[in-house]
C-alpha cells in the first residue's frame, strides 16, 4: 500500500523525524532552509500533507493554487496566525496545531524574562563578558524586586494560567488577569479562583500591575492590543513581557515608551518582523531580547512534533483528528 506523502518544512528533533519516516513517505528539509512561497506551493501541489511551522507564511497568496493535492496542514506550533484560515478552508485543507505540550516551557520563559529584565541580567552579563566588571559594590546594577509584586496577565488561557501559578506559588505575587471571556463566565471565574487571580478590565490591569505579561493569540482583535494609549496607562516602574506574538504590541510605540522612560523595561521573545529586530530595541539597555525561544526545550519540541505526527496519523487513518483548528 502506498504511504501518504508528507513534506516537512524544517528539521525536527530526531525522534520526530524517525516517527514520521516510519509511517509516511516523507520529504525532509535537509539543510533546514526557510522554504520560499514557491516551495510551499509546490509542496501543497505534490504531497498529501504539509507539516509546517510557525514561520511558514501560508498566506492567501501562497494558498492561491489551482490544484492542491494536500488535504491536511499539520502545524508544528500552537499559534496558527501564519496560516490564512479562510484560504485554507477554500482549498478544503484540515489545519491542526500542537497545544498543551509547550505550556509549561513557555510559562517558564515568561517568568525567566520577568526576572531577567527586572534584575538586569542582560546588562550584567554583557558587562562581565566585555571585561568591564570592576567588582562588587553596594550600588552596582541595582534592579527591581519581583517577589511580592503585582503581575497582570493579559489572556488567561493555558499559558496565562501556568504563568499565574508560577508567579503566585513561586514568587508570592498578586495576580490580576484580563481575558476576552467575560469575567462572569463561570469557567473563567472558577479557573481564576483556583489560580488565585483576580479579574480586571484590561485598562485597569495595566494601571495596577508592576509587570504585564502577554498571553493572547495573534488575531485581528489582538493586533496592537498594547498600543501607545495602553502603554501610557502602565506605571513608570512597570515592565512589559511578551512571549505571545509580536503583532500584539505596537513595536514603534513600545520603543517610544522605552526611550521616553514611561515604562521601566521590556522582556521580549517575539517581534513584528521576525527574525529582524529593530536597531532601536537593540540599543536599549532596559530590554531583554530573546530569539523566540518560548517552547525551545528538547522536551517541548519533541512533544510538539509527536503531536503533529499523531494528527497526521489519525487523519490518514480516517479517525477523529485531535487538534483541528479554525
Q: Report how far residue 65's alpha carbon sits from residue 40's, in angstroms, rounded to the nearest whole number.
A: 11
Do the Cβ atoms of 307 and 323 come closer than 8 Å? yes
Burial of residue 105 (CB within 10 Å: 0-12, 13-18, 19+) is buried
CB of 102 to ligand DGY, least distance (A): 6
Nearer to ligand DGY, 179 or 295 (CB): 295
Q: Please choose, from the candidates 179, 21, 159, 23, the residue with its C-alpha nearest in 3D space to the C-alpha of residue 101.
A: 159
Q: Report how far residue 257's alpha carbon sits from residue 225's, in angstroms, rounded to the nearest whole number.
A: 15
Decide if 274 is catalytic. Answer: yes
CB of 67 to ligand DGY, least distance (A): 30
Nearer to ligand DGY, 113 or 263 (CB): 113
CB of 63 to ligand DGY, least distance (A): 19
Q: Report how far residue 32's alpha carbon sits from residue 47's, in angstroms, rounded to the nearest whole number.
A: 18
CB of 258 to ligand DGY, least distance (A): 23
Nearer to ligand DGY, 54 or 264 (CB): 54
**Catalytic-labelled residue, pool 292, 301, 307, 323:** 292
Nearer to ligand DGY, 208 or 251 (CB): 251
Q: Please choose, from the candidates 147, 109, 118, 81, the residue with its C-alpha nearest in 3D space to the C-alpha of residue 239.
A: 118
Nearer to ligand DGY, 102 or 238 (CB): 102
**Catalytic-labelled residue, pool 86, 125, 274, 299:** 274
Q: Grid coordinates in use for 256?
A: 517610544
- What residues line the site for ligand DGY (CB under 6 A)? 54, 77-79, 102, 294-295
**Catalytic-labelled residue, pool 166, 245, 301, 323:** 245
Do the Cβ atoms of 62 and 50 come closer than 8 Å? no
CB of 112 to ligand DGY, least distance (A): 14
SS3 239: strand
- Catalytically active residues are 245, 274, 292
Amino acid at each position: 500500500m502506498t504511504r501518504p506523502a508528507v513534506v516537512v518544512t524544517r528539521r525536527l528533533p530526531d525522534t520526530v523525524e524517525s516517527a514520521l519516516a516510519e509511517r509516511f513517505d516523507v520529504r525532509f528539509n535537509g539543510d533546514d532552509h526557510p522554504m520560499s512561497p514557491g516551495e510551499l506551493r509546490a509542496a501543497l501541489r505534490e504531497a498529501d500533507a504539509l507539516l509546517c511551522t510557525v514561520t511558514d507564511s501560508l498566506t492567501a497568496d501562497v494558498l492561491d493554487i489551482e490544484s492542491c493535492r494536500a488535504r491536511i496542514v499539520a502545524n508544528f506550533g500552537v499559534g496558527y496566525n501564519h496560516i490564512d484560515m479562510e484560504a485554507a478552508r477554500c482549498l478544503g485543507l484540515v489545519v491542526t496545531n500542537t497545544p498543551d505540550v509547550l505550556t509549561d516551557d513557555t510559562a517558564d520563559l515568561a517568568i525567566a524574562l520577568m526576572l531577567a529584565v527586572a534584575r538586569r541580567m542582560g546588562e550584567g552579563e554583557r558587562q562581565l563578558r566585555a571585561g568591564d566588571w570592576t567588582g562588587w559594590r553596594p550600588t552596582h546594577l541595582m534592579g527591581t524586586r519581583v517577589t511580592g509584586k503585582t503581575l497582570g496577565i493579559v489572556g488567561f488561557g493555558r499559558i496565562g494560567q501556568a504563568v499565574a501559578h508560577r508567579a503566585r506559588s513561586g514568587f508570592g505575587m498578586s495576580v490580576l488577569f484580563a481575558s476576552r471571556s467575560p469575567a462572569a463566565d463561570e469557567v473563567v471565574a472558577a479557573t481564576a479562583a483556583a489560580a488565585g487571580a483576580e479579574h480586571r478590565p484590561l485598562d485597569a490591569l495595566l494601571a495596577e500591575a508592576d509587570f504585564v505579561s502577554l498571553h493572547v493569540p495573534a488575531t485581528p482583535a489582538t493586533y496592537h492590543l498594547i498600543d501607545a494609549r495602553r502603554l501610557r496607562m502602565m506605571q513608570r516602574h512597570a515592565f512589559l513581557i511578551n512571549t505571545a506574538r509580536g503583532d500584539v504590541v505596537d513595536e514603534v510605540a513600545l520603543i517610544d515608551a522605552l526611550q521616553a522612560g514611561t515604562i521601566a523595561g521590556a522582556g521580549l521573545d517575539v517581534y513584528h518582523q521576525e527574525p529582524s529586530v529593530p536597531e532601536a530595541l537593540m540599543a536599549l539597555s532596559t530590554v531583554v531580547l530573546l530569539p523566540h525561544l518560548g517552547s525551545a526545550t528538547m522536551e517541548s519540541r519533541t512533544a510538539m512534533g509527536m503531536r503533529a505526527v499523531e494528527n497526521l496519523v489519525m487523519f490518514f487513518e480516517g479517525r477523529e483528528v485531535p487538534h483541528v483548528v479554525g
